Structure 1
């Protein structure tokens, strides 16, 4: 049986912590709670996450926000990013995208790819900040360079549309492929669209199935409509599968 004790001097990575929660969420949550109280920063950040999700412990967004703040104050970059997420979406505090942007910027400037991505999203849409596509593009590019799959897909969109940068279709295709291979369902859908345009229907269908397995409700709703407009019968048939999964998710 796993030893769930956490000590201040231990540095546990995300995989170890997730394994603890998968084996016994309630027992792991108690160990994480104790360790967080003893000052283990990784445990403080994880406590914020499990409180936010209600994983092995009662959901409490206000308390989650408090623990993210404590961990962020100790220099934990993902906790700082999650503070931004809480303020952006109104989890545990009133939604305020301008405060979210401040937290994202701190973590982004320290090199966290997720914070770069989240700040870029605000800059691209003008939520809480002045619209700045040049800065958003720079952040997406930087995050993509360090392996952030979602940023790869959005960088591809900029290249494909020639939006605030010269149009570069080969670069767009490369970004979509990298995003797909890295596991982002939107990147998989984008890559499938490129393959379908090249007549590689079987390959496109394979990536559409992967996107189907990982896609969320909003993605499935929008992408199913897009698939219905395809000139290829097999891809139009895939729209039915997308709608079936959408129905299951919304009924759950």
Structure 2
């Protein structure tokens, strides 16, 4: 190889994509990583909810489904008390009444047994069981519509409860589904829906018809079943999801149906594409308590998908979602105020202080790309009085340990140069290799340099050529210029080994 290997540094670029090392070539700005930062797309992909179920039947799913059927708070239960709850215990309720902790004692639901829905013979409260035409609890004729439970309501609730206690259809349906027996699963889910109206059954039937599992795929049928979930009784106080940012993927059946309907209409899967309907279903998911849906609505307003481009509601949705703890919303707000989006909307001022604050909040909550962006801003001195490499290194390390290739490459730069940390070629090479294995083009090139020089480990010209070639394939200008220089230094054996690395022999089928 002619000339010496020497590093070329551009601090402004190095903070963006890492160190550029070159052979004795004219200095040039290194190319940014070929892969765009995650989350910069305006195609509404920031929040993905697949709804795929884990292998095996989760007993909690069946238990939760039955709880909704049997709960005294569920509208169709007619206030049947199916199980013990401390908050509904007679002693607890009496205590709450004594201390005026109940808004109105009349709001308390009475209790009855599915074995004697009309009353209790032991207490002479037998009502229509003795032939009375009036419900003793409500004073209403047996079939008179009203807010209170009529005799017919009680009989219906009692019968429903009796069936639910003994029903195995939902459990059997999930077992068949997980076993891949979709025809049997569909039969059992339909049975559960007919007998007790399980929302979970309707949800799974929608998925089965959408994907064509054990039956011809039919988006219209899928939509019919998903609408059954949406149209089920809903109490906005008790049934609304309490979003937990620590478990952001935790959703209920109604939200899952809303998001799936939105995806169907957005992609036009089996029907005509209708972004307006997708926007409508994201709004429903937000109404049901899924705060990340606000991020989707914000993106929709930024992109003009299903609605007009309007930065004001976009910011409002994103800020609300961010306050609720959605890290993607915080990250996007950082992008907006840093003017980092591919199609930056008008009306958002450049505000590096605010951008840094949003990236920092998202990073603190564990958002990987935001952690890297916060580190970059500190490295560049954006939103700070001066560059702060010591603080940047802490965040680079956090992101690097979690597998972020650009962060690994940037951190390797510091160890290679010995800036803000002790120089350590061995650590730098390990970090460059980790990033190179994740297709970071600058790290591929930097690793090639270290392999050719024997820095931080053994010299390996064949591996150096292979990594430099891969970097060139991803558009790295320095790698393209250096590759012929490196190729001239290879022995025939080294060239053959490099070619084998680049074109490995396919494995023979066993």
Deviations 1:164-215 (A, max 9, x none): 00001110111111112233333333333333434644434443454455x5
Report the equivalent of 1:36. Answer: 282
> 1:71 & 1:96 partners in 2: Cα distance?
20
Counterpart residue number, 1:232:
486
Task: Give 1:127's match in structure 2, choosing from 382, 401, 408.
Answer: 382
Structure 1 portions without partners, runs of 5+: 236-252
Mapped pair 1:177 → 2:433: yes
How far 1:99 moved relative to its partner?
1.1
Task: Evaluate the alpha carbon distance shift between residue 103 and residue 234 of structure 1 in structure 2; reply closer, same or farther with a 3 A threshold.
Answer: farther
Q: How many residues align?
A: 223
Equivalent positions of 1:152-191 (< 5 A) are 152-191=408-447
- Check the 8 A contact 2:465/2:487 in 1, yes or no: no
1:103 is aligned to 2:355: no
Superposed counterparts of 1:9-158, under 5 Å: 9=252, 24=268, 27=273, 29-30=275-276, 32-38=278-284, 39=286, 40-49=290-299, 52=302, 60=309, 62=311, 64-89=314-339, 91-92=344-345, 93-130=348-385, 131-158=387-414
2:467 is aligned to: 207
Specify the structure having the higher radius of gyration (Cα).
2
Structure 2 residues not aligned, in runs of 5+: 1-209, 212-221, 231-250, 490-510
Deviation at 1:157, TM superposition (A): 0.5
TM-score by length of 2: 0.38
**Structure 1 residue 107, shift from structure 2 partner:** 1.2
Match of 1:240 in 2: none
Contact map agreement 2:371 2:399 (CA 8 A) in 1? yes
Root-mean-square deviation (CA, aligned residues, Å) is 3.7
Distance 2:436 2:419 in 1: 21
Please name the residue that 1:249 is paired with: none
Q: What is the CA deviation profile of residues 120-156 of structure 1, one whole-angstrom value per residue up to 9, with x for unaligned ones?
A: 1011111111321100001100111122221111111
User: How far off its partner does 1:69 sit?
Assistant: 2.4
Tell me, in whole angstroms, the C-alpha distance in 2 between the residues paired with 1:30 and 1:191.
Answer: 49
Compute the TM-score of the two structures, normalised by the length of structure 1.
0.71
Q: Distance in 1 between matches of 2:308 and 2:411?
A: 35
Find 1:192's aligned residue among 444, 448, 460. Answer: 448
Q: Which moved more, 1:128-137 or 1:32-41?
A: 32-41
